[in-house]
A and B are shown apart, each in its own frame.
Chain A
Amino acid sequence: MPSKAALSMARASLRAVAPERAEVDCSHCGLPVPAARWDADAKAQFCCDGCASVYAILNASGLQGYYQKERPEAERRRAPNPSQRRFEELDDAKFLADHCRLLASGLSTVELVLEGIHCSACVWLVERLSRVLPAVAEARFDLSRSVLRVTWDRNAASLSDVARALDSLGYRPHATGSPRLVEEQRRADRALLLRVGLAGAAAGNVMLMALALYSGAFGGMTPEYVSLFRWGSLLITTPTVFGAGSVFFRGGLAALRTRSPHMDLPVSIGILAGYFGSVLNTVRMTGDVYFDSLCTLIFLLLIGRYLQRTHHRRSARASELLSALAPATARLVVDQGTREVLAANAPLGSVVEIRAGERIPVDGRVIAGSSAIDTSLLTGESRPEEVTIGDRVHTGTVNATAVLRVRVESAGADTRLGRLMHAVETTQRERAPVVRLADRVAGYFVLAILGVAALTFLLWLRIDPSHALDHTVALLVVTCPCALGMATPLAVSAALRQAAQAGILFKGGEFIEELARPGRFIFDKTGTLTEGRLELVAWQGDRSVQAVLRSAEEHSNHPIGRAVQRAFPANELPCSRIRELTGGLSADVAGQEVLVGSAAAVAGLNVPVPDWAQTLVDAHASRAQTPILVAVDRQVRAVAAFADTVRADARQSLAKLQAFGFTLEVLSGDHPNVVQGIAEQLALPFVRAVGGVSPEDKLARVQELRRAGERVFMVGDGVNDAAAMSAANVGIAVHGGAEVCLAAADVFTTRPGLGAVARAAEGARRAVRAIRLGIALSLVYNLVGIGLAISGRLSPLVAAVLMPLSSITVVTLALRAKTFRGQE
């Protein structure tokens, strides 16, 4: 037994290690270690021998990594990274009039989309905004929309104050889309939910009465009670059929009027036939009633519809959020300094200041400064363009290196970008809706059912006229496509959900069905097939200058500077006197004068370019790579080449698409040589691989192909693809793309790389297979039901069993289908 002295020494030393707590936690399970088991010498403390044994086992099997992952309470909070924005555009009177509502209490409410909410602690913090900013009375967060509703006193703080407060907490706020649209959507959603709830209540109650009726059918029930229950069911069913079920009638009528097939038509026929037949039998006091089947049918179908809408909303919101991220402000130069305004409102002829790293908000001419512009998002060119006084710049491009002042020539809808966006909208509106598979089946289905019903009626008229109507009604009720109407929406919802989990967001189920059909895939190059940014691909010369180069490019925003930052690790070399020049930069690193730039820039500063370097420069240029010379102390020491590299998974993914039977094409705004090189690198049979294509040309090409009857799938990431994407059958935006692309696309991926596109195609095929299977199964059930009805063996009980059975089978199949999950 350890002596008292030894024990107290152990305790003291442990307290020295963890002074605030006189407690030690078990190294394995984390629970407190009883004081008697503290071992001052041991590295690990255990609360019991069991923990010690398991610890030993884990170590012996090499699973120590378990301990790193164990603690769920330790939430790593990202350090807030507030932008320097002042959010003054939110105080614009028109904006406030559109987006804020004045309440009776005199306070105003507004909805702001927030970035950066990723856990319940964030929700908690953001809802405590009133404690941080007293002018805020209430803040309520909606996680599914990522929207914060703020109620605040406009006299105590402006909206930009609120926005800045949120920004300083680490959650960047943005304006929501049109509030009126949101309100309409909300109203429509609520109406549907109301229908579902009421139909459910009705179904439950009617089923209770039906249970009594079935029991009575077996055991005998006096007629007045039968009548009672029937009338009760009728009372409940009537508002359900004409209230909640009216959506189906409207759909059926529309289908009749436009002569286009829709699932609502057979559903309406079944419901109405069943209802009126049952009412007749209730009054006549003979025959069968089907009120319970009808109510359950309506309930289940409405659920299917509700799920469909929820999923549609969710994916639409995701794209809404992303498109709200585009900063649409411009920094106007005024006498007292600068003022932020909405980019679309920048007056023509005024001067706008654009700092390095910012996106250019207007079309105009440079009046001060010279810099490099990254035009890849707009034109697809991967090499930055040098601009100086007098040169034209466009909205949507990024100012890479230095501050520019631009005189506004066109803003908002008149810019080249604005006109492209308009083209996107027009082509989207002109799109013909995709006819879904289930709806096509519906057309034939209706005709078949009506034919069979007529036959049944005539048949029974000859055999047993008193029952003819009953059997026909039974037939119409049991063949009502409950399973068919539910299977497809559910299969599609399940597929949408799985796709979302795999990082592929579809804006609607119809695009899944489209993607499963054969067609032509057109790829953009920059940012889609390639990484979209310059990377270091070759280094010839002295390797020791890499560290110096890295230090010089430490703070550069230029695409080449960033490529250098990614290529080499950061170091501690002191760097000073960085000067950006045309085509390069110079700096003093650790006492050495470093010059980085193109051959022209280097020669222009009177640094001799040796022959070996010149040869290399020429070789790289011929391969459409960007060569950069690195000179230290006025001596060229190395040549570095930069190019836009092909994505690692590009070849594999495209080969997969080809194996599915799609034809492949590449359209790019970049130099034709570059595009040729990429096509050769991928070594796949492209039907066409063309460079130098403008955004307008891409749109034209897609429209031409569609007019010729081809199905076109457009994959892109930049603004230069957006118009073409909206004109294609399915537009796919890959991760990292421009926000406007996300708004124009029908599918977008949230994980980098092209693997997601191949996965989307494969998942779509599997989904369509699952849908077909569901349809086939429900048809089988219908056949069984028809057989029973024609032979006169169908009773309400049989119908009540058959219909849920078919629904359950089909639903289970739909939900369990592995469409986007389980791909390797």
Chain B
Amino acid sequence: MRPELLLPIVGASVLGSVHCAAMCGPFAAIASNPNAAPGRRFLLQLGYQGGRLLSYLTLGALAGLAGRALDLAGAAAGIGRAAAGIAGFLLLVWGLGALLETQGIRWLRLRAVLPPAVTRFLASLRQAPSLWRSTALGLATALLPCGWLYAFVLTAAGTARPLDGALILLALWVGNVPMLLGVGFFFGSALARVRRHVPVLSATLIFCIGLGTIVTRTRLAAFAGVFPESARASSGPVPTPADCPCHRKRH
């Protein structure tokens, strides 16, 4: 994966991190203990961010694997780069739906709720020893039904490679860290004017990422003129049944 493809991801992550800080801020706050010494605070933050990173990377890798499976299945059915296409399409739909929501029209009736057992477990962490608590909170962040995160996971699936998937989630993590470390609070008042537009902004971003995924990754002939590189495999050749390990074993 070329690094310049990661940069827009990081950029999008930073832009959207306002909401990340707002929503996961309490977790970051619970994870670190303001009364502890700076050395300890640093360690706790490390646990939290590290836990987050670990869960993100895992998600990304899993998504990439799933995408690869989709690709293989698609290849077997004769469709190339199925994962990128499906992921891109889903992102388009999602982004559009989110945009419409801001205008008052609710068309996708998806309600993702945490199972109460998970909620109870997370609540019980309050009593846990602090390092375990901060790490567990970090790990659990990936479990939260966060649309923003899922958009990136979908993008990761679209890459159809576990490594690239993990890289995309790494880009997301990198974009998040400044805000979650509280650096963003300094700009809080400056961003107050931007706040109003965050829902529209994030919906548009998701839409664009979906569009970008379709255009650059699916290697459809129609887009060959727009993005000549997409004609060349940017992440490896299209897998054929001959590459499939289980198939290979048979032969």
Hey, which bits of chain A sit against chain B, CB under 8 A? 1-2, 7, 11, 23, 26, 28-37, 47-54, 56-58, 60-63, 66, 70, 72-73, 818, 821-822
User: Which of these, A7, A36, A57, contacts B102 with CB under 8 Å?
Assistant: A36
Task: Known A36-B106, A61-B124, A61-B125; judge A54-B26 contact (CB<8 A).
Answer: yes
Q: Are B145 and A53 in contact (CB under 8 A)?
A: yes
Which residues of B sit under 8 angstroms from A61, Cβ to Cβ? 122-126
CB-defined A-B contacts under 8 Å, sample of 29: A1-B106, A1-B107, A28-B22, A30-B195, A31-B195, A31-B198, A32-B196, A32-B199, A36-B100, A37-B106, A48-B145, A48-B147, A49-B111, A49-B113, A49-B146, A50-B23, A50-B146, A50-B147, A51-B23, A53-B119, A54-B144, A56-B114, A57-B122, A60-B119, A60-B122, A61-B122, A62-B126, A66-B29, A73-B192
Q: In the bound complex, what is the Cα–Cα distance between A48 and B206 (angstroms)? A: 15
Residue of B nearest to A66 (CB): B26
Task: Known A48-B147, A49-B145; judge A34-B102 contact (CB<8 A).
Answer: yes
Q: Are A56 and B119 in contact (CB under 8 A)?
A: yes
Of A11, A32, A818, most B-chain CB atoms within 10 Å: A32
Task: Known A30-B22, A31-B18, A34-B199; judge A2-B106 contact (CB<8 A).
Answer: yes
Which 5 residue pairs are nearest across A and B when measured between Cβ atoms? Answer: A29-B22, A60-B123, A35-B104, A61-B123, A36-B106
**B19 interface residue (CB < 8 Å to A):** yes
Q: Are A48 and B104 in contact (CB under 8 A)?
A: no
Residue interface bits B1-44, CB-to-A below 8 A is 1, else 0: 00000000000000000110011111101100000010000000
Which residues of B sit under 8 angstroms from A47, Cβ to Cβ? 19, 199
Which residues of B sit under 8 angstroms from A56, Cβ to Cβ? 114, 119
Q: In the bound complex, what is the Cα–Cα distance between A413 and B22 (angstroms)? A: 61
Q: In the bound complex, what is the Cα–Cα distance between A35 and B146 (angstroms)? A: 18
Q: Are B103 and A52 in contact (CB under 8 A)?
A: no
User: Which of these, B23, B111, B123, contacts A29 with CB under 8 Å?
Assistant: B23
Q: Are A32 and B104 in contact (CB under 8 A)?
A: no
B98-150, CB < 8 A from A? 98, 100-107, 109, 111-114, 119-120, 122-126, 144-148
Which residues of B sit under 8 angstroms from A52, Cβ to Cβ? 113
Residue of B nearest to A11 (CB): B104
Residue interface bits B80-113, CB-to-A below 8 A is 1, else 0: 0000000000000000001011111111010111
- Mostly, the B contact residues are helix
In whole Å, how far is B218's beta carbon from the nearest beta carbon of chain A? 29
**B188 interface residue (CB < 8 Å to A):** yes
Task: Known A29-B23, A31-B198, A32-B195; judge A73-B103 contact (CB<8 A).
Answer: no
B154-205, CB < 8 A from A? 185, 188-189, 192, 195-196, 198-199
Q: Give the total of B residues in contact with A, Cβ under 8 Å.
A: 45
Task: Known A1-B109, A11-B104, A57-B119; judge A49-B147 contact (CB<8 A).
Answer: yes
- Mostly, the A contact residues are loop
Q: In the bound complex, what is the Cα–Cα distance between A50 and B144 (angstroms)? A: 6
In whole Å, how far is B25's beta carbon from the nearest beta carbon of chain A? 8
Of A56, A62, A73, most B-chain CB atoms within 10 Å: A56
Residue of B nearest to A822 (CB): B37
Q: In the bound complex, what is the Cα–Cα distance between A679 and B248 (angstroms)? A: 93
Q: Are A36 and B104 in contact (CB under 8 A)?
A: yes
Residue of A nearest to B114 (CB): A53
Could you list 13 further interchain pairs (A-B, Cβ under 8 angstroms) beyond the known A32-B196, A37-B106, A54-B27?
A23-B196, A29-B23, A30-B195, A35-B104, A48-B146, A49-B145, A49-B147, A50-B145, A50-B146, A57-B119, A61-B124, A72-B185, A818-B37
Residue of A nearest to B26 (CB): A66
Task: Known A1-B109, A47-B199, A61-B122; judge A31-B104 contact (CB<8 A).
Answer: no
Which residues of B sit under 8 angstroms from A58, Cβ to Cβ? 26
Which residues of B sit under 8 angstroms from A821, Cβ to Cβ? 37
Q: In the bound complex, what is the Cα–Cα distance between A614 and B160 (angstroms)? A: 95
In whole Å, how far is B76's beta carbon from the nearest beta carbon of chain A? 35
Q: In the bound complex, what is the Cα–Cα distance between A60 and B198 (angstroms)? A: 28
Residue of B nearest to A70 (CB): B25
In whole Å, how far is B26's beta carbon from the nearest beta carbon of chain A? 5
Q: Are A63 and B126 in contact (CB under 8 A)?
A: yes
Q: Are A53 and B19 in contact (CB under 8 A)?
A: no
Which residues of B sit under 8 angstroms from A53, Cβ to Cβ? 113-114, 119, 144-145
User: Which of these, A29, A37, A66, contacts B101 with CB under 8 Å?
Assistant: A37
Q: In the bound complex, what is the Cα–Cα distance between A254 and B111 (angstroms)? A: 81
Q: In the bound complex, what is the Cα–Cα distance between A66 and B22 (angstroms)? A: 12
Of B192, B196, B199, most A-chain CB atoms within 10 Å: B199
Q: In the bound complex, what is the Cα–Cα distance between A28 and B24 (angstroms)? A: 10
Which residues of B sit under 8 angstroms from A2, Cβ to Cβ? 106
Which residues of A sit under 8 angstroms from B192, Cβ to Cβ? 73
Which residues of A sit under 8 angstroms from B189, Cβ to Cβ? 73
Q: Are B105 and A36 in contact (CB under 8 A)?
A: yes
